[in-house]
A and B are shown apart, each in its own frame.
Chain A
Amino acid sequence: MAAQTRQAAIVGGNRIPFARSNSAYSRASNQDMLTATLDGLVARFGLQDQQVGEVVAGAVLKHSRDFNLTRESVLGSRLSAATPAYDVQQACGTGLEAAILVANKIALGQIESGIAGGVDTTSDAPLAVNEDLRRVLISLNSAKTLPQRLKALAGIRPGQLVPEIPRNAEPRTGLAMGDHAAITAKEWEIGREEQDELTVRSHHNLAAAYDRGFFDDLVTPYLGLSRDQNLRPDSSLEKLAKLKPVFGQGEGATMTAANSTPLTDGASAVLLASDEWAAEHGLPVLAHLVDAQTAAVDYVHGGEGLLMAPAYAMPVMLARNGLTLQDFDFYEIHEAFASTVLSTMKAWEDPAFCKEKLGLDAPLGSIDRAKLNVNGSSLAAGHPFAATGGRIVASLAKQLHEAGPGKRGLISICAAGGQGVVAILES
């Protein structure tokens, strides 16, 4: 065991452009996309046949056959087949959590390098056999005699042909994530226009980043896509104002298809290492992963919003590092919904919330909007659940590197199940 820990370096990243559901990647599986993403990373950093310490990745929507998704992707990639791998799953926090896990092992000296990633498809989604039919088939499988088999088969009904379709809904409330976000938006009185403004800025920032070549060494084209399919460079408040709300009810409904992230397919990967490993391989250090924190809230009975957990994780991490919310040069707050970003920031500015819920003497305060999601975020790029963390970590690390040494960046990602993951990067 290492006597001292060290900070893991972020060397770089790779992702494929994110595609809208049932479109460019409709025939690509999670394993296809993750393998292609790993191979793009290998090509960028010359890792052919090399053994990295560990590859950690996951998917939120997963086929049962993909029980060893990451390891199978490694075996299909140009990495050495002797590279160990494991899967993780923390809903939309998967990608960032994977990076934290890899960074922690590097910090402890257990590995010298590692790849963190995530992938999701809502097109090639796992359909399961109807629950009644599944029980019949299990009985049939365990039946030993012909009469027993016939009896089991007699249990089959036409209605059992309807498959189990995965839903973007919380199992404990039955509400879609968007409906949960709409409740929070109403509580925090988040208006339609500020959500649309945030959305337009996300599209414009992402388009500008592509135009200046920012993504040239972060994205590798895939199946004919070279930019995120959801990106609308000409997005405007006027166009967005015409859309009808899709979440929430009645007069106060503000959340539309534009200021909510669409279902998306895609994958991302981040290469992390010790400083020594990076130097030995002639690779750059873009930034270091300084610290991270998770939190969870009781959105079922506790009266807190489903996506508000990052608000709770943040003060814990800031206090541990002796930092204030304003001590950062760039902020990456995952845009699950525009209203989520706005609710979270409003909560940090709110004295009552900060005192009663977070137990702070003073509010965390406000964030300079000019430093927020400067290269676009999920509203424009799309949000293939487990792939978002990798997208953010690699992009923020590069942004910090471009800004020069000693710059700090903050990441905040909300996740299903009332969870949140936050992290600090520093160049």
Chain B
Amino acid sequence: MSDWYREFANSGLGTTITKNLGLPRPAVLRRYEPGQPLLPGPVVVGSAGEGRLRKIATGLLEDAGVTVVSPVAADGGSDGEKFGAVVLDATGLTGPADLASAHDFLSPAIKRLRASGRVVVLADPPAEATSPAQAAARQALDGLVRSIGKELLNGSTANLVYVPFGAEGSLGSPLRFFLSGRSAYVDGQVVTLSASELPGGEEHDRPLAGKVAVVTGAARGIGAAIARVMARDGAHVVAVDVPAAGQSLAEVANEINGTAFQLDITSDDAPTRLVEHLRERHGGVDVVVHNAGITRDKLLVNMDAARWNSVLAVNLQAQLDITAALLAADGVLKPDARVVCVSSQSGIAGNRGQTNYSASKAGIIGMVRSWAPEFAERGATINAVAPGFIVTEMTAKMPFGTREVGSRINSLQQGGLPVDVAETIAWLSQPGSGGVNGQVVRVCGQSMLGA
């Protein structure tokens, strides 16, 4: 399942050939490992207009042990040090004319970005603008950041975080995520924060310490990767999968010192059994990851009811039923719970032969957005993660051409790994991510599909 083309393109001869022929040059992405510094180099922080976040962001970065340099140095010629990241505070924008200062800051800074560098733009949400001109300027950043993502080379990414007035305290966790190796395959994304009360004193290396996390579909593939990352971050993982997958489920659970819970999530009593299990064995649950999903592909005109119904039952109805049961059960879902639902690029862009799957995955997005206000009232969050082309046993079985094209049509020119999806889910599960609610984060390397 290794990316043969990426390895070739990064070899001695391969570098020469791909450069001369103008072929795609997928980079080896910087991925998170425990103990790793947040960034491999200093970060340059600048602002467009009189921003209110520059100081906060600088403080957060310095707390994380990152050297912060000012944009003056960025203009100081090409002999300077390369940057690990570029952060722009654009909360001072009043109209399109202010965007010129964004250009003035970003252009020279990005020129000096290292491989697997990060561009993060912080702004106010367009919907909260006081004038059409201000809204236009804020919305303009959306196009700007997505275009930067497409221009960046060497595994670098660009993402936009909208920070409403009053939500400044929520910035830490998203800022660290987008700068770190945890977001290796998250590119061209826009996340809107909300105000939240966050606990202090989080361990950045083990942000989920002491938490109980349920992961469905944990026996293999992306689900097993999620379970491993959750455990690495300190959570006790209750690994759930259908009874028939029990052998590999037990192996995953034993590998990560978690527990295996065999359950067909579509059975009538599944929500009750899961709730009772969590109550009896763990006194409740902090994190729920709805990952279990199936595909039963056929063109709509040839699709029988069984294919349609089974996909909708597993991928969507079970998530609804289990979440509803957890919300209804007294004291089982912890007040600051995190629920993360796995959607899909197919749910955003659609996919030929996957009407059932795409419908179920789009439905998840509707569900998450609808539930977000109720979760916010509890101090909890519910979000969706939409993976793009992720290299798994399933994609390994695709025909060569389909697989190669599918994995290259994104800004990072490669498929993602299960761990990339897992890192994003683990980030949304952190106590510090309380200001990220009702969001859909794509893990797709800025795929061209549905963008």
Q: Do A and B come from one complex?
A: yes
Binding site for B on A (CB under 8 A): 36, 39-40, 42-46, 48-49, 78, 213, 215-217, 219-223, 226, 282-284
Assess whether A216 is in contact with B283, with CB atoms less than 8 Å apart.
no
A427 to chain B: closest CB distance in Å? Answer: 15
A221 touches B283 (CB 8 A): no
Contact check, A40 vs B250: say whether CB atoms are below 8 A apart: yes
Picked from A48, A226, A282, the residue with its CB within 8 Å of the CB of B282 is A282
**Known A-B contacts A43-B250, A219-B243, A220-B247; A282 and B283 likewise in contact (beta carbons under 8 Å):** yes
**Best-surrounded residue of A40, A222, A223 (most CB of chain B within 10 A):** A40
| B243 engages A226 (CB within 8 Å) | yes
Give the 6 A-B residue pairs with the shortest CB-CB distance, closest first.
A43-B250, A43-B260, A43-B253, A226-B244, A46-B259, A221-B246
Size of the B side of the interface (Cβ < 8 Å), in residues, is 26
Residues of chain A within 8 A (CB-CB) of B264 are: 213, 216
Residue B262 contacts which of A45, A217, A282, A284 (CB distance < 8 angstroms)? A217
List the B residue with the shortest CB-CB distance to A50. Answer: B257
Does B70 lie at the interface of the complex (its beta carbon under 8 Å from any beta carbon of A)? no
B133 at the binding interface (Cβ < 8 Å): no
How many A-B residue pairs have C-beta atoms within 8 angstroms? Tell me: 69
**Interface majority SS on A: helix, strand, loop or mixed?**
loop
Q: In whole angstroms, what is the CA distance A61 to B325 when docked?
A: 48
- Select one of B243, B249, B280, B281 contacting A43, CB under 8 A: B249
Residues A46 and B258 in contact, CB atoms below 8 Å apart: yes
Best-buried of A43, A44, A45, A46 by chain B (most CB within 10 Å): A43
Please measure, in the bound complex, the distance between the C-alpha atom of A284 and the C-alpha atom of B280, giving whole angstroms.
7
Q: CA–CA, A215 to B246, complex, Å?
A: 12
Residues of the A chain whose Cβ atoms lie less than 8 Å from the Cβ of B282: 282
Q: Please determine whether A42 and B247 come into contact, CB atoms closer than 8 angstroms.
A: no
In the complex, how many angstroms separate the beta carbon of A375 from the nearest chain B beta carbon? 15
CB-defined A-B contacts under 8 Å, sample of 29: A36-B247, A39-B254, A40-B246, A40-B247, A40-B250, A42-B254, A43-B251, A43-B258, A43-B259, A43-B260, A44-B260, A45-B259, A46-B257, A46-B258, A48-B254, A48-B257, A49-B257, A213-B243, A215-B243, A216-B243, A219-B243, A219-B246, A220-B246, A220-B260, A223-B247, A226-B243, A226-B244, A282-B281, A283-B281
How many angstroms from the CA of A40 to the CA of B261 in the assembled complex?
11
Is the CB–CB distance between A216 and B262 below 8 Å? yes
Q: Indicate if the CB atoms of A226 and B246 lie closer than 8 Å.
A: yes
Check if B245 is an interface residue, CB within 8 A of chain A. Answer: yes
Q: Nearest Cβ distance between residue B256 and chain A, in whole angstroms?
A: 9
Contact indicator B258/A221 (Cβ below 8 Å): no
Cβ of B33 < 8 Å from any Cβ of A?
no
Q: How far is the CA of A217 from the CA of B264 in the complex (A)?
A: 12
In the bound complex, CA of A220 to CA of B282 (Å): 21
Q: How far is the CB of A219 from chain B (nearest CB, A)?
A: 7
Report B218 CB to chain A, min CB distance, Å. Answer: 11
Assess whether B107 is interfacial by the CB under 8 Å rule. Answer: no
Q: A73: shortest Cβ distance to chain B, in Å?
A: 15
Which residues of B sit under 8 angstroms from A219, Cβ to Cβ? 243, 246
B326 within 8 A of A: no
* Residues from chain A with Cβ under 8 Å of B267 in the complex: 213
How many Å lie between the Cα of A48 and that of B262 in the bound state?
A: 18
Task: A110 to B417: give the CA distance in the assembly, Å.
Answer: 50
Which of the residues A44, A49, A221 comes within 8 Å of B243, measured between beta carbons? A221
Within 8 A of A (CB), among B192-247: 236, 243-247
Report whether B263 and A216 are in contact in the complex, using a CB–CB cutoff of 8 Å: yes
A101: shortest Cβ distance to chain B, in Å?
Answer: 26
Query: Which residues of B sit under 8 angstroms from A43, Cβ to Cβ?
Result: 249-251, 253-254, 258-260
